[in-house]
Structure 1
Amino acid sequence: MVRRKTNRQTDPQTYGQGVCNKASTFRARKYVRTCNKVLKMNSIVKFNTIFVALLIIEISDGEKDCKIPCYCNPKQKMATCASRHLHYIPKLPSYVEQVEFVGNNFTHLSKSFFKNLTSFNKINLLNLTDNLVLNISLDAFADFQYLNTLDISREKKLPIFSLKKAFRSLNNSRINSLDFSGNGWEYLPPDMFKELKLSRIRSLSMTSNSLKELHGEIYSYLTELRILNLAYNDIRNVNLSGLTVLEELVLKDNNIHNIPTWCSSTGGSFVPQLKVLRLDSNSITEMNSSSFKCLQNLKQLRVDYNNFRFLENNTFSHLVKLDRLHLSHNTRLQVIQETAFNVSSLKSLYFQNNGFHFDKEKKFNANTIFSYCPNLMTLDMSSNFLPSLKKSQFLKLMFIPLIKLEKLTLPNTRIRALPFNLFPKMKFLTTLNLQGNSINGWKDGERIFGNKSSLKTLNLQANNIRLVNRTTFPPSILSSLESLDLSSNHFSCTCDQIWFREWIRKNFESKSKKNNLTLNGYPQKYVCMFPSNLRGVLLKNYNPTPETCKEKNYLTTIAVIITLVVVLSIVVPLLLYRCQTNIRNYIYAWRLYKKRKSGYVRLDSEDYDYHAFVVYCESDRKWVHNVLVKKLENEESMRICIHHRDFDIGAPVTGNIGKYMSKCRKIVVVMSNDFAESEWCQWEVDLVQERRRKQGRGVSLLIMLHTIDSNHMTDSLKTLLDSTPHLQYSNGVGEWLFWKALVEGLRKPFGHPPVAVL
């Protein structure tokens, strides 16, 4: 005590700093801020002020905060503890009601283990993630009287029966949400939730496990279950019996090939209360008019990322309350029948990134495609192929029934011209997105947009618009708009642009701005593209005036044009006649260059239906389907053949392999220890060798997904690996290099084509 007193007297500055450092171990940020301010004061005053300040803070806060490795958030009443060295439950501030233990070392959970938590806190949320748990005692949760949410995830060493028995210690009157994700479970005991039959659990999540089936009876003990999330499993078979009160079912990213059965044998519904259904990222190949019977209360449906090729008539007509439908990223879709969208209750349709050809009449009927869903308010058709300039009337026919539309999203759809008298009929349209198309502009804005006052957001970014003048947008549009985006267009900086520059100067460069319109991207993304001497100049820096834009002699211009036409009409035919041999040679060289550049060359007058055939074993199916195929098809626009999806049903396997391998330009072999053990895979390797003897080594690409050890290496695989370089897949650093090499290998030509092929 004497030494401390001496230090205060002789060196208040040093002592004050020491107090601040000590304070940082408690309520770190608040103490340090206070101390640092005080240290700027005079030495004697410093010490006294520090003492008083710390005392005030301590009294006001009432108790110390968390200690490392825990972090506390008083506002959210939450604590998080994370350290592999932590093997006990530390005491936490009494205000903590939600606690997360992530990445600790809790091997045995019991009632006494949680004593520091249950004695001083009213915990309503308990999260135990990746804590190396090996066992949970029967009474583990007995003292959690306020617990309503329990999350035990990524505990792959925890026996499922240990958890099941511990359910009896939960407070059934409080608990209402469970999450058991990433535990590696492949199946559930039939009485998994029997101890919870008196509970009021409304939400259950078991994502990222390895469950193979959904048996509704297992969940029937949870009599108030409303939400069931089983995404990212390996579910193939679905039986929904026993889920009569379920309102939301998430089966995203499983291995479902067929739409589940919703109707019971008596004609009723297994899930009469279901409102939200997610079947996206599965392998569904077919949907028809009976696929969604007995779902009379369904409001939202997602079937993105599947493999169906047809949308048949009345597919969704039984969903009388459906108001939101997601049908995106279905790149294999080929035909939409006339009444496929026969669902009058539909208000939102998301049909983006399908690459569907609305520019081909045989694939759909422009007159009827949306005529049976007149109440549509939101439509997103991004990244499809809408009718071109010559067929722009089909664009109008498609959308004319949608008079209640409020939001229309059409980016990257290759639109080149806007149809007349379409948007004026959409009286409620507030948002129109036409970004990333090839629109060149228009002359009569009144016929394009009409006198609309409802339109608030208009996006025309990244088109080919060169000129904006007083006829481009009607005055009513400019006065009602709140957001306008014309950035990244090909602006022509000529005297014809003088109106647009004056309008911008008046509304966005003047201090006396009179409206609330925002011109997105201005000025950085408004750049001159023409003429060449002004290319790259900001439109803001192009300032034409009436004096610099004097009227030109148009008669002289017309005379020059007529003269050039006459000269060219004489000279061009003469040159074509005299140089016909050279012209043929140039055409040949150009075609050869294009084919080599695209990486695709026909061989022996044959063409292919697929870019690649993938040879793989069942244990590697998940990586092939979810990573390889999605990457190549969705990002590289390739067509990949895999036997789970593309083989003919009922045909012999050997016949299917031979048939579809011959339809593929190249063959990708995905290798691992399980691949080496498979007799079918070894037989396919022999077929690959035969193909290589005919067409050369370039026909095959080898991927080493998991290194094959010496115990599994076969003679045929060793021969294949010795004669052909292979790619090694690694997740994370260097992964981009793997994909770059793979894509280039698939697109690489076999060799120079013979003249006859061209």
Structure 2
Amino acid sequence: MHPFNGLINLKTLNLERNRINITLMYKGLFTDLHSLTELSLKGNIQDKFKPTLILDDVFSELRSLETLKIDGPANVTFGKGFRGLTRLQKIDLSGITGYCSFQRISHDMFLNMPKLTYVDVSACDILDIEEGAFGKLRYLEHLDVSHNKQLGFASLPNITHNLNKTSIRVLRGNGINCLSGIGTKILKRHFENLKHTNISEIYLEKNRLEQLEPGALRLLPNTIDIISFGENKLTQGRYILDYFFLQNARVLNISVQLRPPPYPESIFERCIEKTDVLRPNERNFVKRDTSKIRENKYKSLINEFIHRNRWHWKFVLTFDLPKSLEVLYANMSRLYRTIPEFGINATGAREIYAQDNFLYSWDGPIHGVENIKIMDLSNNFCSHISKSFLKYARGLTTLRMSKNDIGKSLSSDMEGEIFKNTVSMEVLDLSYNNIVDLSTSMFKNLERLQTLNLQNNKLSTWRVKVDHMKSIQFINLKQNRLTTFGKEAQMSFTKLFQITNLSIDLSGNQFLCSCDSVHFLEWITGYRNRFVHFNRYECSSTSSHKFNFSDAENSLILLKKNCESYLVTYIVSSVVVAFILSIIIGIVLVKNKWKIRYVVYKFKQRFKKYAFHSAIPQAESPSYEYDIMISYSPKELSFVLTDVIPRLENEARFQLYIKDRDEPLGIPLGEAIMEAIQKSKRVVCLVTRSYLKSKLQDYELNMSRMEAIEDRENLNFVHLILFPDVCNGSISIQTLDLVRQECFSEYPEEECAFDDFWETLIAHIKELNRH
């Protein structure tokens, strides 16, 4: 059988997971595949207990083969037939993509594949690798021994033996320790064989790595470009000073130091990793190095470190990093503290990723970050950022600070000092920060900003000045508390719409849809193409009108009509209500004008007493200077002199107040009248036609009545004497009101009745005084 007969131009053949028994392959199967460069037979071993042989004479026909992907059975060997595959460069035996179960790599396993540049033996349950097993592959560039959990760091000397005789560039040793256990440590002997190689990338992730022996990193060659210690459990130690000696390192990954091993695999795994067993002479060598040589090396390094911190940074703590370092991954690295003022000496650094830690207060400033382009501080539980934290971050183009709690710090920055010096900023992410308010000047210096993310905050108003951002492309205000934009904000965004391709996302906000917001709704509808997900916008539950954003134009027309009719109704109703209220208030004021005037006078009187006589004790019972106050019009003065005074004062011995006689000088007339009323036991009014026509007497009469009602609580306080010119004929309404409300008597027309009238009046007044 020749299933591939005639396929002389076939380049790639994938036979993965077809249940092909590799042992039963026969010579001549691949005869016609003259051009085949890649062959994959992964996932064809179904029964791991059944012996499987890789027949080299079958594969020897693939003269053009460059890449071979195949399962690695327990007894895997690559015989002499593979010597003819002079173009074979890559061999993939990984158990991740197929089946692999061999437990040992001998020194001659790849002896018949001398041109290999890529070897992947990851996840093969390897227990042991003989010394120099890869050292004979002079073209080897990429070696992956990851996920062979029982190898341990103790196998690194064997793995790396003679790698200096190869072209090694990339070494992957991820997960070569068990999932659970105490922290592991890299010793200098583990890296010693790499010292004279040209390796550029080394990956030792997921190894429970906690410490490195001081000096171990210094054994790595100067060609090292990428170092990854991610997903370990690194703790701070003296070894961090060795990072400075990696002068050409471009990427340092110490991220994800918090992730626990997978559950439940880490609990039930049967894994015993290889550990270092040192011979006595090796142990003594380590001891001497620790006590003398190593101490001297680090003493000079620490002295240089202190000297730099003292003079170059003016007592600011400074960390030296390789000048070639461009990217530092420190996310999820168990960093727990504030960020104080410190410096970094890494002129080549461009990107710093420190998200998902516990850097809870950003005080700074950080010196030496002028060349940093990208910084990620998201999800650090930070509640404070100082105004000087970014003082030296002039070259920063991308800054992510999402998922913190720096809203209060930002709200209190009224002058925009936090981002004052970040003049190169292009992307700023402040989402999920509990921001309630931002000042007008917050982003005043961010003229190059292209993307601003303020999603999921608590902004209820927008007053930030943005019209100077000539490069702005996108502003994310999703999931805030914005109900409308003021006219200034509308004008600012309108200017940007005219000169930029700005788009804004306001979805998740609840807009106020009412007659007061017609101008805003008209504006946002006019620029609807600039608002992301405009059709999904909604009105708040407190809105007085409905507005359908998916049919915004018709909704706007309907809203305007409703508001116009509502406005007319509102104006007419307001005028009518105001007119009615004014009438009611006028009636109430007219009806109670005397009471109001009386209350005002009493208030002024009490204020004066409090201000000038607060220390003078007041009498418990009132004392009156006059028995009777006579209220009369000027035309009745002769009657007062000829009749009233002789009768009431001379004969009856009443003390009378006669305004033309007793009125004090230098006191306003109204105040004088009120003082006379308050100093008298009774008020007697001589009511004539001229009395009723006089405004002054009207004031005396009504203020006397208010005194009777409000203070004396006795209407007998005022007594009216109605003269014949008032009583004759039909009684006027004004007179009738007086008679109904006051105590009165009529003065007789006959002279013979005068004596009886006066006697009766005097007796009546004396009777009232007794009670």
**What TM-score, normalized by structure 1, do the two folds share?**
0.51
**Alignment partners' CA distance in 2, 1:301 and 1:466:** 42
- Structure 1 residues 250 and 498, CA gap change in structure 2 (3 angstroms): same
CA positional deviation for 1:148: 0.6
CA contact (8 A) 1:453 1:476 kept: no
Which of 130, 139, 149 pairs up with 1:146?
A: 139
Query: Is 1:310–2:303 an aligned residue pair?
Result: no
1:465-504 alignment runs, 5 A limit: 465-467=482-484, 472=490, 473-479=492-498, 480-494=500-514
Q: CA deviation at 1:527?
A: 3.5
Within the candidate set 118, 121, 127, 1:128 is matched to 121
Contact 1:417 1:439 in 2 (8 A): yes
1:179 lines up with 2:172 in the alignment: yes
How far does residue 456 in structure 1 lie from its aligned partner after superposition? 1.4
Residue of structure 1 aligned with 2:402, choices 382, 387, 391: 382
Q: Tell me what 1:463 maps to.
A: 480
Shift of 1:191: 3.2
In structure 1, the gaps of 5 or more residues are: 5-15, 33-54, 256-260, 272-287, 359-363, 509-516, 568-758
Q: CA deviation at 1:310?
A: 3.1
Q: 1:65 to 1:440 in 2, by over 3 A?
A: same
> Is 1:105 aligned to 2:98, yes or no?
no
Q: Is the 8 A contact 2:172 2:203 kept in 1?
A: yes
Structure-2 residue corresponding to 1:290: 317
Residue 311 of structure 1: how far off its partner (Å): 2.9
Q: Give SS of 2:144's match.
A: strand
Q: Deviations over 1:152-173 (max 9, x none)?
A: 1222333766652454454624
- TM-aligned CA deviation for residue 181 of structure 1: 1.9
- Corresponding residue number in structure 2 for 1:696: none
Where does the alignment leave 5 or more consecutive residues of structure 2 unmatched?
19-28, 46-58, 179-183, 259-294, 306-314, 582-771
Structure 1 residue 214, shift from structure 2 partner: 1.0
SS in 2 for 1:184: coil
Contact 1:469 1:497 in 2 (8 A): no
Q: Match for residue 66 of structure 1?
A: 40
2:300 to 251, 258, 266: 266
Separation in 2, partners of 1:155, 1:194: 21
**1:520 counterpart residue number:** 532
Residue 643 of structure 1 corresponds to which residue in structure 2?
none
| Aligned match of 2:205 | 207
Partner Cα distance (1:189, 1:128) in 2: 24
Deviation at 1:201, TM superposition (A): 1.8
Aligned with 1:228: secondary structure?
strand
How many equivalent pairs are there?
478
The residue correspondences of 1:439-454 to structure 2 (distance < 5 A) are 439-442=459-462, 448-454=465-471
Which residue of 2 is the match for residue 544 of structure 1? 555
In 2: Cα distance, 1:526 partner to 1:262 partner: 69
Distance 1:507 1:545, change over 3 A: closer
Which residue of 1 is the match for residue 718 of structure 2? none
Identity of aligned residues (%): 20
- Does residue 137 of structure 1 match 2:136? no
Root-mean-square deviation (CA, aligned residues, Å) is 5.2
In the TM superposition, residue 150 of structure 1 has moved relative to its aligned partner by 0.9
Q: Distance in 2 between matches of 1:148 and 1:488?
A: 53
Query: In 2 relative to 1, CA 145–348 (structure 1 residues): closer, same or farther, beyond 3 Å?
Result: closer
**Aligned-pair CA distance for 1:133:** 1.8
Structure 2 matches for 1:285-434, cutoff 5 A?
289-290=316-317, 292=319, 300-301=327-328, 304-305=331-332, 306=334, 308-313=336-341, 315-316=342-343, 323-331=350-358, 333-334=360-361, 336-337=362-363, 339=365, 343-358=369-384, 365-366=386-387, 368-387=388-407, 391-394=411-414, 396-434=416-454
Distance 1:426 1:204, change over 3 A: closer
Note the alpha carbon deviations across 1:213-236, whole angstroms, 9 max, x for none.
Answer: 312534555433524333334444
Give 1:411 shift. 0.8
Aligned partners of 1:379, 1:438: CA distance in 2, in Å?
21
Q: 1:299 to 1:543 in 2, by over 3 A?
A: same
Write the mapping of 1:608-623 to structure 2, written as runs, cut at 5 A.
none
Query: Offset of 1:62 from its aligned partner?
Result: 4.8
Cα deviation, residue 88, structure 1: 4.7
The SS at the match of 1:420 is: coil
Alpha-carbon offset, residue 420 of structure 1: 1.9
User: Which residue matches 1:720?
Assistant: none
Mapped to 2, the partners of 1:386 and 1:82 lie a distance apart of: 54
Tell me how far 1:204 sits from its aligned partner.
2.2
Corresponding position of 1:39 = none
Secondary structure of the residue aligned to 1:333 is strand
Q: Does the aligned pair in 1 maintain the 2:512–2:543 contact within 8 Å?
A: no
Displacement of 1:28 in angstroms is 6.6
Per the TM alignment, residue 325 of structure 1 is displaced from its structure 2 partner at its CA by: 4.2
Shift of 1:347: 4.3
Partner SS state of residue 402, structure 1: coil
Post-superposition CA distance 1:636-660 (Å, at most 9, x none): xxxxxxxxxxxxxxxxxxxxxxxxx
Q: 1:537 to 1:391 in 2, by over 3 A?
A: same
Q: Name the structure 2 match of 1:244.
A: 245
- Residues of 1 paired with 2:349 and 2:577: CA distance? 65
Q: Any conservation in 2 of the 1:193–1:221 contact (CA below 8 Å)?
A: yes
In 1, Cα distance between equivalents of 2:576 and 2:304: 78
Contact 1:134–1:159 under 8 Å retained in 2: no
CA–CA separation in structure 2 for the residues paired with 1:560 and 1:522: 37
Deviations 1:270-301 (A, max 9, x none): 99xxxxxxxxxxxxxxxx93252576666555
Query: 2:148 aligns to what?
Result: 155
CA distance in 1 between counterparts of 2:253 and 2:411 reads 40
For 1:244, the aligned partner's letter is F
* Partner SS, residue 102 of structure 1: coil
Change (3 A) 1:528 1:243: closer
Partner SS state of residue 181, structure 1: coil
For the pair shown, the structure with the greater C-alpha radius of gyration is 2
Counterpart CA distance in 2 for 1:552 and 1:262 is 91
Q: For residues 32-67 of structure 1, give each alpha carbon's deviation from its aligned partner in whole angstroms, at most 9, with x where no partner exists.
A: 9xxxxxxxxxxxxxxxxxxxxxx9x96785588433
* CA displacement at 1:485 relative to structure 2: 1.8
Which 10-residue stretch deviates more, 241-250 or 197-206?
Answer: 241-250
1:230 aligns with 2:229: yes
- Per-residue deviation at 1:427? 1.8
CA contact (8 A) 1:387 1:415 kept: yes
The residue type paired with residue 113 of structure 1 is: M
CA separation of 1:434/1:548 partners in 2, compared to 1, >3 Å: closer, same or farther? closer
Amino acid paired to 2:383: H
Partner of 2:54: none
**8 Å contact 1:529–1:536 — kept in the other structure?**
no
Q: Match for 1:378: what amino acid? A: T
CA–CA separation in structure 2 for the residues paired with 1:169 and 1:320: 35
Matched position secondary structure for 1:379: strand
1: distance between equivalents of 2:245 and 2:159? 26
CA contact (8 A) 2:380 2:404 kept: yes
Q: Residue 172 and residue 425 in structure 1: after superposition, are their counterparts in 2 closer, same or farther (change >3 A)?
A: same
Alpha-carbon offset, residue 243 of structure 1: 7.2
In 1, the alpha carbon distance for the partners of 2:37 and 2:246 equals 46
> Quick check: 485-494 or 318-327, which moved more?
318-327
Separation of aligned partners in 1, 2:148 and 2:546 = 60
**8 A Cα contact 2:414 2:441, kept in partner:** no
Q: In structure 2, what is the Cα distance between the partners aligned to 1:76 and 1:418?
A: 64
Provide closer, same or farther for how the CA distance between residues 198 and 462 of structure 1 changes in structure 2, counting only shifts above 3 A. same
2:65 and 2:521 map into 1 onto residues whose CA distance is 52
1:146 CA displacement:
2.0
